[in-house]
Amino acid sequence: RCRKTAEPLLSAFAARRDSLGRVKATRRKMVKQAVGGDPVAPPEGFAPNSGVDSYEKYKVMHDRSLEDPKGFWSDVIEEGGLHFEEDFDRSQDVFSYNYHHTKGPIDIKWFPGGKTNLSYNALDRNIKQGRGDQVAIIWEGNEPTDSSTLTYQELKDLVCQISNYLKSVGVKRGDRVNIYMPMLPELPATMLACTRIGAIHSVVFAGFSANSLSDRILDNKSEVLVTASGVLRGKKLIPLKQIVDDALEICEGAGHHVKTCLVLENKHALAKGKCSVKDGRDVWWEQAITSQPKECDVEWMDSEDPLFMLYTSGSTGKPKGVLHTTAGYMLGAYTTVKYIFDAKPGDIYWCTADCGWVTGHTYLTYGPLLNGVTTLVFEGVPTYPDAGRCWSIVDKHKVTQFYTAPTAIRSLMGFGNDWVKEHKRTSLRLLGSVGEPINPEAWLWYHEVVGNKNCPIVDTWWQTETGGIMITPLPGAWGMKPGSATFPFFGVKPVVLDEKGNEQEGACEGYLAIKQPWPSQMRSIYGDHPRFETVYFKHYDGYYFTGDGCRRDEDGYYWITGRVDDVINVSGHRIGTAEVESALDMHHSCCEAAVVGYEHPVKGQGIYAFVTLMDGAEANEDLRKELVMLVRSEIGAFAAPDAIHFAPGLPKTRSGKIMRRILRKIASNEYDQLSDTSTLADPSIVQKLIDSKQK
Ligand code: PRX
């Protein structure tokens, strides 16, 4: 059986030159389509609560955030009334760092000597400020008839009960807790319960398979898992507890025992009685939580104590546990929501992300609650029971800010304007976009049809690693260009580097890197600091490398052009090509697999898999289905390839490296742009691949 040779860790780097060429071409097309290139003025009369209503005001604040970070962040803390149990040491710099892998370990620290607690600031602080009876969470179920609310006081009570239970089963400060739950209020409540007692949560998106869940549990060796019986997404039932049982069995096989599995019965999805229960390990939520006291002391955490981890895909290897720490993340979440979403208590803010992704951490849970707003948790999908669901929710709950991904916008756009127009949407003040480049066509539809041209659009660029938004419009402060994330947020110093790592000036195109730390930056990869250094700091010594390509135009606007490594962004979800390839490789008929992304009208990028077969294996429809099923079960349904191409061979250099540039062109039908193929060990393979595709 032939095996795929492991590519060296930095191989993605070598592929960047051609990927940049690829994104350049796409971007040129997008820019041309945009409305003459002129900025779209902020809606008339839009007055930001934050008072930052002009570029000039922003510029003064942005300059200060870089030149006097201590003064800037001290003011943020004071104005927001954010509570530090022990103030950070004001005699020192507010941050210290080393970004040079050549000068010892990469190290980033903010707010030295401070002690605080995120859960306290999100809940107790709001209650102390008089918001106990204000709604903290509106929950909207999969069925339009299901909804409920929790006030700040009720949420705090629930959080304390969960904290007390976790403590009763031995969870202590620094312990990891895995969470695999649907979008019920208990999910953000469990996250808040962990941060209250200093436990590090790791939320695993409840669309991941048993294999992916067990990989994550085995990586962080947590002994506690919180889950639910099941979930309905639209009409589709996902039996979460069953998936958990499978995952925990895999863990057992690998010698790791999860001691406590707390299970919430999601009554309208899957009744308790339909789940199997392992005595001594599985505990039903009702029994465990409802009798717990509603008070629980907070654990005062050092500024740099770990807060949570979240696994994300890279170009190579297993997903990595991105580790965030306490004070910096809290400050980032608070400040970005305040200025970018123009949030204030009383706003009804809806971020459609799932808590399984970073957006659900920072912009559904922590950021909104730190700002005392009401955050909406939606269990269902935007097209159930019909394509007007989002706008009917907006009207039902009087949503003021709406934040979603371009893939959702494109998908809803495809259903036509009537679904939007039959709802009023008059409560909306602001719209946001995140997760992938937004094409100008979708941007304009969002602005004109959804927002009636009354809402600024914040196209926010950031990453799991950055913890919070990095490049974004401030609403009402300057004109927007459809498809551009515009300017850096406070504290963020982006640079555009050329191939050799030189900073470029003025209008330019290259690789996006960040020159100095910002508070919510990740601090490490859980259990693997060397990998953290290699992935983010070895490409360009002295810079945090984002993995994204970027253009800065003559007006200084930043345009993110997409990943320049072997990461595919499917519907705003990051998927490493290597992960999909190793799943396909597991099939006994698969000799070798190579996966690339290609332009997809709704998902942004689709997954295209080239598969060569073992001798004697037959390329047929059944095998295609088996391969797709394998990826679904290894990773999750969202990573299923859109196309499987049974290939006669793969284009390789003489040293055996797959030339993905050629595969991308073939996947995208760009046969005239194959450029130089002479370095291939067997150049004739290109024509054979084209012929086999057309068959
Ligand atoms: O390529 C960029 C793209 O999403 C990547 C980060 O993915 P993830 O860590 O899963 O976080 C998604 C939510 C922040 C980035 O490296 N990306 C994110 N936002 C944008 C974007 N690309 C273009 N424009 C954006 N607004």
State whether the beta carbon of 563 lies less than 6 angstroms from ligand 1: yes
| Backbone φ and ψ of 459, nearest 5° | -95, 105
Check residue 682 and report its DSSP letter: -
Q: Is the CB of 437 under 6 A from ligand 1?
A: yes
Q: How far is the CA of 151 from the centre of ligand 1 (A)?
A: 32
Cβ neighbours for 60, distance < 8 A, ≥ 6 positions apart: none
Q: For residue 485, which atom of ligand 1 is closest to its CA? A: 26
Mutate to test the pocket of ligand 1, among 322, 548, 558, 575 (most ligand atoms within 8 A of CB): 548
Q: How far apart are CA 457 and CA 455, in angstroms?
A: 6
CB distance 23 to ligand 1 below 6 Å: no
Q: How many CA atoms lie within 13 A of 338 on its CB side?
A: 18
Q: Is the pLDDT of residue 20 over 70?
A: no
Distance 131 CA to ligand 1 centre (A): 33
Q: How far lies 193's CA from each of 226, 289, 571, in Å?
A: 12, 12, 30
What is the crossing angle of helices 69-80 and 55-67, to 10°?
110
Instruction: Region of 584 please: left (phi>0), alpha (psi -120 to 50) or beta.
Output: alpha
Query: How do strand 107-110 and strand 95-98 relate by DSSP bridges?
Result: antiparallel
Q: Of 220 and 17, which is predicted with more confidence?
A: 220
Q: Which atom of ligand 1 is nearest to the CA of 563?
A: 1
Which atom of ligand 1 approaches the CA of 567 most closely?
A: 1
Is it the case that residue 152 has pLDDT exceeding 60? yes
Render pLDDT for 178-202 as a digit per residue (tens, 0 to 9): 999 999 999 999 999 999 999 999 9
Best residue among 358, 361, 462, 561 to mutate for probing ligand 1, ranked by most atoms within 8 Å of CB: 462
Q: Which atom of ligand 1 is nearest to the CA of 462?
A: 14
How many A from CA of 448 to the centre of ligand 1? Answer: 24
Counting atoms of ligand 1 from 1, which one is nearest the CA of 574? Answer: 10
The pLDDT value given to residue 37: 66
- How is residue 57 written in tokens? 């005001």
Dump pLDDT digits (tens) for 91-134: 999 999 999 999 999 999 999 999 999 999 999 999 999 999 99
Atom of ligand 1 nearest to the CA of 465: 9
Ligand 1 pocket check: which of 434, 443, 551 to mutate, most ligand atoms within 8 Å of Cβ?
434
Give, using CA atoms, the residue closest to atom 25 of ligand 1: 461
For β-strands 306-312 and 200-203, DSSP reports them as parallel
- 20 or 268: which carries more pLDDT confidence? 268
Q: Which helix (H) or strand (E) holds 180?
A: strand 176-180
- Ligand 1 centroid distance, CA of 548 (Å): 9
The tokens of 97 are what? 């760092």
| Residue 354 in contact with ligand 1 by CB distance below 6 A | no
Give, using CA atoms, the residue closest to atom 22 of ligand 1.
Answer: 436
Q: What is the pLDDT of residue 252?
A: 98
574 lines ligand 1 (CB under 6 A): yes
485 ligand 1 Cβ < 6 A: yes
Interface confidence (ipTM) of the complex? 0.99
Taking each helix axis as running N to C, give the angle between helix 69-80 and helix 326-340, from 0 to 180 degrees, rounded to the nearest 10: 70
Reduced to 3 states (helix: H, G, I; strand: E, B; else coil), residue 221 is: coil
Around Cβ 472, how many Cβ atoms within 10 Å?
26
User: How many Å lie between the centroid of ligand 1 and the Cα of residue 462?
Assistant: 5
d(CA 602, CA 579): 22
Query: Does 478 have pLDDT greater than 80?
Result: yes
The DSSP symbol for 307 reads E
pLDDT value, residue 655: 86
Residue 34: predicted pLDDT: 53
State the pLDDT at residue 528. Answer: 97
The burial class, CB within 10 Å (0-12 / 13-18 / 19+), for 37 is middle
Pocket of ligand 1 contains residue 207 by CB under 6 Å: no
Cα torsion angle, 330, 332, 335, 338, sign: negative
What ligand 1 atom has the least distance to the C-alpha of 464? 9
Least confident of 5-14, 214-223, 369-378, 383-392: 5-14
Give the integer Cα–Cα distance in Å for 246 and 154: 34
Confidence class for position 474, pLDDT limits 50, 70, 90: very high
The answer on pLDDT for 570 being more than 60 is: yes
Q: Is 50 in the pocket of ligand 1 (CB under 6 A)?
A: no
464 CA to middle of ligand 1, Å? 8
> How far is CA 515 from each of CA 140, 464, 536, 595, rounded to the nearest angstrom?
41, 18, 12, 32
Distance between CA atoms of residues 679 and 34, nearest Å: 38
Q: Is 575 in the pocket of ligand 1 (CB under 6 A)?
A: no
* pLDDT tens digits for range 451-462: 999 999 999 999
pLDDT in tens, 28-49: 455 454 545 689 999 998 999 9
Alpha carbons 359 and 365: distance in angstroms, whole number: 9
- Classified as helix, coil or strand, 431 is strand
Cβ of 359 closer than 6 Å to ligand 1, yes or no, is yes
Query: For the chain, how many helices (H) and strands (E)?
Result: 23, 33
**pLDDT score for 677:** 85
Query: Cα–Cα distance between 483 and 32 in angstroms, integer?
Result: 11
548 lines ligand 1 (CB under 6 A): yes
Per-residue pLDDT, 328: 98
Return all residues near 426 (Cβ < 8 A) that are at least 6 apart.
none
Indicate whether residue 464 lines ligand 1 (CB < 6 A).
yes
The whole-angstrom separation of Cα 159 and Cα 193 is 5
Q: Are 446 and 466 in contact (CB under 8 A)?
A: no
What pLDDT, on a 0 to 100 scale, did the predictor assign at position 694?
A: 72
Residue spans of alpha helices (H) in 414-466: 418-421, 440-445
Rounded Cα distance, 126 and 225, in Å: 29
What pLDDT score does 317 carry? Answer: 79
Q: How far apart are the CA of 469 and the centre of ligand 1, in A?
A: 10
Instruction: Work out which ligand 1 atom sits closest to the CA atom of 546.
Output: 16
d(CA 237, CA 489): 40
What letter represents residue 425's amino acid?
R
Mean pLDDT of the chain: 93
Share of the chain above pLDDT 90, in %: 90
Q: How many CA atoms lie within 13 A of 248 on its CB side?
A: 25
Q: Whose CA is nearest to atom 14 of ligand 1?
A: 463
What angle do helix axes 210-220 and 240-253 make, rounded to 10 degrees?
50
Specify the ligand 1 atom closest to the Cα of 469: 14
Closest CA to 466 of 427, 439, 443, 493: 493
CA of 434 to the centre of ligand 1 (A): 7
C-alpha to C-alpha distance for 403 and 160, rounded to whole angstroms: 29
Residues annotated as part of the active site: 565
463 Cβ inside 6 Å of ligand 1: yes
pLDDT the model gives residue 673: 83
Any ligand 1 atom below 6 A from CB of 358 = yes
Mean pLDDT computed over 212-226? 97
Ligand 1 centroid–CA 474 distance in Å is 18
First to last CA, the chain: 27
Token pair of 180, please?
Answer: 């695999």
Rounded mean pLDDT of 564-578? 92
Highest mean pLDDT among 182-191, 434-443, 656-665: 182-191
Is 509 near ligand 1, meaning CB less than 6 Å away? no
Question: With 80 as the cut, is the pLDDT of residue 19 above it?
Answer: no
- Give me the pLDDT at residue 4, please: 33
Are 614 and 590 contacting, i.e. CB atoms less than 8 angstroms apart?
Answer: yes
User: Does residue 461 have its Cβ closer than 6 Å to ligand 1?
Assistant: yes
Give the three-state DSSP class for 552.
strand
CA of 546 to the centre of ligand 1 (A): 10
Q: Helix or strand or coil: residue 162?
A: helix
More confident residue, 330 or 30: 330
* φ/ψ of residue 313, rounded to 5: -85, 145
Closest C-alpha to ligand 1, atom 8? 463
- In angstroms, the Cα distances linking 59 to 73, 330, 553 are 16, 23, 18
Token reading at 340: 């970018």
> What's the residue count for the chain?
695
- Identify the CA nearest to 120 among candidates 150, 94, 149, 85: 85
CB neighbourhood size of 346 (10 A): 12
CB-CB contact of 378 with 352 (8 Å): yes
Q: Which residues are paired to 597 by β-bridges?
A: 607
Sign of the torsion formed by the C-alpha atoms of 240, 246, 250 and 256? positive
The average pLDDT across 480-499 equals 97
Closest residue (by CA) to atom 13 of ligand 1?
A: 435
d(CA 376, CA 402): 10
Q: Which of 96, 543, 596, 578 is nearest to 535 (CA)?
A: 543
Q: 645 with 593: CB under 8 angstroms?
A: no
- The alpha carbon of 141 is separated from its chain's Cα centroid by a whole number of angstroms, namely 22
Give the list of residues 6+ apart from residue 122 with CB closer than 8 angstroms, or none.
192, 365, 366, 369, 370
Phi, psi of 115 (to 5 degrees): -130, 130
- Strands 282-284, 231-233: pairing kind: unpaired
- CA gap 385, 434 in Å, rounded: 24
Is the per-residue pLDDT at 366 higher than 90? Answer: yes
Is residue 508 a contact partner of residue 558, using CB atoms and an 8 Å limit?
A: no
Residue of 332, 275, 325, 279 whose CA lies nearest to 305: 325
DSSP character for 447? I
pLDDT > 70? residue 440: yes
Q: How many CB atoms lie within 10 A of CB 32?
A: 9
- Nearest atom, ligand 1, residue 547 CA: 16
Ligand 1 centroid, distance to 507 Cα (angstroms):
22
Rounded to the nearest angstrom, the distance between the alpha carbon of 411 and the centre of ligand 1 is 18
Q: Is the pLDDT of residue 16 over 90?
A: no
* Residue 287 CB-density burial (10 A; 0-12 exposed, 13-18 middle, 19+ buried): exposed
Q: Is 436 in the pocket of ligand 1 (CB under 6 A)?
A: yes
Q: Whose CA is nearest to atom 7 of ligand 1?
A: 463
Q: Whose alpha carbon is nearest atom 6 of ligand 1?
A: 463
**Does any ligand 1 atom lie closer than 6 A to the CB of residue 22?**
no
